[in-house]
Structure 1
Amino acid sequence: MGKLIWHELSRYISLTASVYAVWASFWGFFFRKFFWDFIGGILRSPGGLQPSPKFSLFINVIVKYPIVQIGTMALGFIIIALEYPIPILKGTAIFRSIALRVVLLIMQAAGTVLFYQFEAAQSSGDLFFFPSEVSKHEELGTEWEIRICTALQKKPAVSPPAGEAGITPSDRSDETVKKYDPFAPPYVPNLHVGDLRDESSGTEYGVLLNKYSVVPHHFLLVTKEFMPQNSPLLPHDLVQTYLLLLAARKARKNYFAFYNCGSNSGASQSHKHIQFIEVEDDGPPIEILARAANLEVSGKPFSLSSVGYANHVYRLPTLSNSASPEQLEQALFLPFLSLLDLVISTVRHSPDYPSGTPSYNVILTLEHMHLIPRRWETYTLGELGATLSVNSLGFAGMLMVKSDTERQALEQEKIETVLRAVGVESVHELQVAGTSMEAMDETSA
């Protein structure tokens, strides 16, 4: 009787593991990643963090061609058919073979351990994934995304304070808890994707999965040494960010990056971190408006006048995967400085702007760099009284609400109204006129 019980228990465990392997393989087709690519990974130009050449075989059979995923899924179905079992196998020598089961399960385990990452963090409890649905709303000449995530109403509380990525738990004094930094190493292994080092500056970064994830594979680039979130992006920050975007494109993924700078920008942590979100081929909705802008002169900042709030955009030159870090720095940092100057100028033209360091949002795609000055972090929706927190994603065209009631209130109140309220009034025409006058003065002199 005891042997029968153990046999049945083993059978159920085998079935459960195989069902999970099939499920993981299914998602592995859409999110292709070699789990161990960070071992021996190096920073290259181009490509950002790239796997060691010794792992090229795994990259080929997992990322380029999902051979491992197909094989693992096939093994999962075979084991399910064997353990269930299907009628044709029942009573056969294959069905009775314990050795065959052991071999198949080892092969299945070896396959699944090669390509899962996001699912591992989620299943371990290190990563919280909140299901959501996206509603499209036509306004200001483009389709805005309103993501409804009712689960955020019950976002889990953790101790010490929650961040977007966790660190390994340990005994802490009260003073340590107060100074808890979720982006300081050592990192939780299931959230730690890998490390980067900028060769020119020596700055080291960690790449972490977002602990509270609404979109799969939302990840962060964080400085290993503490840098304040209200500090501007430095040349090496921009270079490493763009290298990651190039690496994503090389892997046939379309990501954009964003940075919330300052207390009113929607930043959730004080440790410097840049965030990355995967989007469809067209990019975030704001990019549709940026691409449609006809520029009289290239290589200068411009503004999207149709949106009604202050925004400063720069169209980047086409940068290939062969661009060196030096070329990237030259192509990215000077535009960033020019946009930052416009942000400061915009704030100075606002007489009732809050005191303190100016806040702004940065949105970076392979084509454009956007900087948006911020006045407030939150907006209260009329009679409903619900408070919306708006960060860079809101200005990228991707807003978040916690209920369908909030979505309806947002659509009724208009997205432009919300963004204008938390942003700053545009004075772009005045700034352009001032620049033109300065140029004329220099010419006449």
Structure 2
Amino acid sequence: MSKEILQRLDQLSRAALASGDLLPVQAQEQLMRDQGLTFFVRWVSTLAAKDAASVSIPGGPRDPNFNPFLPPAPALTVDDASSTHNIVLNKFAVCDLHLVLADKVFSEQLSPLRDIDFRILADFLALQNGLGFYNGGGPAGASQRHKHTQWIPQADSNGSLALYLDKLPTQAAAGSAHQHPALAFEHCFVRLSDSRDPVALSDSLLNSYRLACNELGLVPGQDGQLPPHNMLAGQGWMLVVPRSMELVDGISVNALSYAGCIYVRTPEQIDVVRQIGPLGVLARAGYASNA
């Protein structure tokens, strides 16, 4: 991945905004603290229009017969940026340069992430940091069956694993698995390699993912698909969370929720998050921890 690709993405974003092909979500937010962790709880007023189009954050329509990635919208896609993936601006972006990294050929979203999936993510993480994430299946917040990961840049208001860092071991060895003391649901953090080489980082991402899945008992079924889960990678760590359901009292929970950004559709749902607590919402969407 080169800086030229990022420049092309920036130009594409500005053109898509001007043409109306890119419709970034507009949100009002409140900060909530829970167990020493800070969460952005965002009421997205534009979600009503998205619901009318049968879409959910941060992906596309739920209709299984419609695939927006074959082909992706030309106005949102960087041409010939990768031999294996289409690099697409998320139409309903939660921030600037919110990217979807979609397979050029169809494969199931719940099939295990592969080396090529992590290679495309590592290109962005090595060059620009930020957060790579994956919604594995409908109960994990995925809106499409077509295999794709996502990436957002690093910014103070963007989702990040940085909120967990003060309770994770600073000298953890690469490839070591850990749990966070504030999270009362099944999860696994794995320390990533600090290499800035995309190939080495990609290998670390793949090995960390396999380790986390093994630690959590996430194994493929007879159909080759994994149980629903979220994967997040950034700030030197990977987090994997098994998922039991998408909706908690009508609130959609996806990977970005576990990165500190919970999106709601009505102002009343902000009060629901406050009553349950952000960590309570995340816990109900996953599985109670045995620890």
TM-score category, normalised to shorter length: 0.7 to 0.9
Q: Gaps (5+ residues) in structure 1?
A: 1-47, 53-58, 64-112, 167-176, 198-202, 250-254, 347-355, 381-386, 430-445
Match status 1:300 vs 2:176: yes
SS in 2 for 1:363: strand
**1:398 counterpart (261, 265, 281):** 261
Where does 1:319-334 land on structure 2 (aligned, <5 Å)? 319-320=195-196, 323=197, 325=199, 327-334=200-207
Name 1:278's counterpart in structure 2. 153
Q: Deviations over 1:281-304 (max 9, x none)?
A: 597454232343127862310111
Cα distance, 1:218 vs. partner? 1.2
Give distance in 2, aligned partners of 1:284 and 1:409: 21
Name 1:124's counterpart in structure 2. 19
Match status 1:226 vs 2:106: yes
**1:344 counterpart (217, 222, 226):** 217
Who wins on radius of gyration, i.e. which is larger? 1
Higher fraction of helix: 1
**Structure 1 contact 312–343 (Cα < 8 Å) conserved:** yes
**1:315 counterpart (181, 191, 196):** 191
SS in 2 for 1:393: helix
Match status 1:369 vs 2:249: no
TM-score when normalising by structure 1: 0.58
Give distance in 2, aligned partners of 1:366 and 1:242: 12
Cα distance, 1:233 vs. partner? 0.9
Which has the bigger relative contact order, CA under 8 A and spacing at least 6?
2
**Structure 2 contact 218–227 (Cα < 8 Å) conserved:** no
CA gap 1:259/1:114 in 2 versus in 1, 3 angstroms:
closer
Identical amino acids, percent of aligned pairs: 25
Q: Deviations over 1:310-364 (max 9, x none)?
A: 11001112112xx252x23432222211101122269xxxxxxxxx951100001
TM-score when normalising by structure 2: 0.85
Give distance in 1, aligned partners of 2:168 and 2:58: 37
Give distance in 1, aligned partners of 2:279 and 2:232: 18
SS in 2 for 1:190: helix
Q: Deviations over 1:400-441 (max 9, x none)?
A: 0123221122112211221111101223x4xxxxxxxxxxxx
Where does 1:25-40 land on structure 2 (aligned, <5 Å)? none
**Structure 1 contact 162–182 (Cα < 8 Å) conserved:** no
**Structure 2 contact 178–189 (Cα < 8 Å) conserved:** yes
**Structure 2 contact 133–151 (Cα < 8 Å) conserved:** yes
Q: What one-letter code is carried by the residue in structure 2 that aligns with 1:362?
A: M
Name 2:248's counterpart in structure 1. 379
Name 1:287's counterpart in structure 2. 162
Give distance in 2, aligned partners of 1:391 and 1:362: 10
Match status 1:51 vs 2:4: yes
Aligned Cα root-mean-square deviation (Å): 3.2
Give distance in 2, aligned partners of 1:267 and 1:389: 10
SS in 2 for 1:306: coil
